[in-house]
Structure 1
């Protein structure tokens, strides 16, 4: 029996349009491709939040698992749309439906389970999440089965988890963002999440950095020279991905699709086990 999955594209309509205008992909499409790497037979529905009363494609209980994307929303600047997403994540927690998320997904799960998210004390982390390092719990957890204990990942975030709930499990961090991955729990539910974007590849980051160049400059996170350098680095990743066997081992966590999305693949394996139990 194939898995029935719901992908929640947490961007606003304007946020999605901006990404597409920059040459990037919709979050729902990126995660659909990522799932397809590991479970090509999965039945996928994509849900968007164009208003604070979105229509579910099917009752929550009909899904084996739910995946949350990043977002252009800022979760500590609460509004009705964010409240609707927190309420939905909480309902999924309480029903024991497995959840997975990246970036905003981690932040959403943190808030829904009693933790805190604020503007990143270290500023924006754009392009590279360098030296993501697993904790002891991370090395032992199924989410990182087959993954190296330290690796680089692709990312883009301005906010960060500043306090995990008491029953959360910290799995990974780096010098910029102490919480790069965690397991969040509430009631009978569990949410596996990363701060970095495992659904991104070099081409997606190059499009976003180039397309949102002026926004990056306004934040002061990078100057013109660093932006141009980062775009070149991402284009180089795309070239290397065409011949992964020729790339140095350090590049494989970001250019090999199966390794880059291993955390999601391990979550999907867990969801499959739960559906069979």
Structure 2
């Protein structure tokens, strides 16, 4: 299985040497559940693009510090890529910005939320196999999906982000607002870096405290990797 990672964001230069870039985080998260996968990266934020959606068996869309509404030269082409891959039936996973961008590309809407920043560990309620399960997951976002695209089902969300997990019924697309690739150390470092500037202290302090509990990254990895394998016929 060849999985293409489309890098839409860059880890802060003060953190990348310790924690790696976003594609490295995704490889660490998914490899235990997809040990035979061959991961390839294109940094779309730097102008790198695959030839087309069939270059890989599946695609992962990463987070980004940008919003889907920003006037960056790579955002509109990435929306086009999402639509092309959906039409071609190539599975796609979207995380955080990738979740929002897929919603925008496929007929929904994402924007800055009046609820403000979500950071630290949030509790997501997700319907899987006919039963609702709770997933404590790391989040880091101001924007969120506010209008669900046609053909998308809301699998779950949190009190802060009700449309937090979407599965599309007319295309093999699964997206989530949370960050299953983030570990607690990276999330804490990121919150400390942003506290008092982009993240208000009143949000940063409880977000840091929430990281005393572990996220359900492995459980989310088993579920999302299982979804990919099912879409690719095992």
Q: TM-score, normalised by structure 1?
A: 0.76
Match of 2:133 in 1: 149
Gapped runs of 5+ residues in structure 2? none
Helix, strand or coil for the counterpart of 1:156? strand
1:58-94 Cα distance to aligned partner (Å, 9 max, x none): 6531311101111111102243221121111111111
Equivalent residue in structure 2 for 1:193, among 175, 179, 182: 175
Distance 1:23 1:212, change over 3 A: farther
Whose Rg is larger? Answer: 1
Q: Which runs of 5+ in 1 are unaligned?
A: 238-250
Judged with a 3 Å threshold, the aligned counterparts in structure 2 of structure 1 residues 123 and 233 are, in CA distance, closer, same or farther, namely: closer
The within-5 A match list for 1:259-274 is 259-273=219-233
Number of residue pairs matched? 234
| 2:172 counterpart SS class | strand
Counterpart-to-counterpart distance in 1, 2:33 and 2:65? 27
* Alpha-carbon offset, residue 198 of structure 1: 1.1
Cα distance between partner residues in 1 of 2:48 and 2:55:
17
Per-residue displacement from partner, 1:122-160 (whole Å, max 9, x unpaired)? 111111222x123xxx3337xx9xxx6123211111101
Choose from 145, 155, 163 the match for 1:171. Answer: 155
Aligned to 1:115: 108
Contact persistence 1:23–1:208 (CA under 8 A): no
TM-score by length of 2: 0.88
Offset from partner CA, 1:100-127 (integer Å, 9 cap, x none): 1111111111011010111112111111
Query: Does 2:168 align with 1:184?
Result: yes
* One of 107, 120, 125 as aligned partner of 1:133: 125
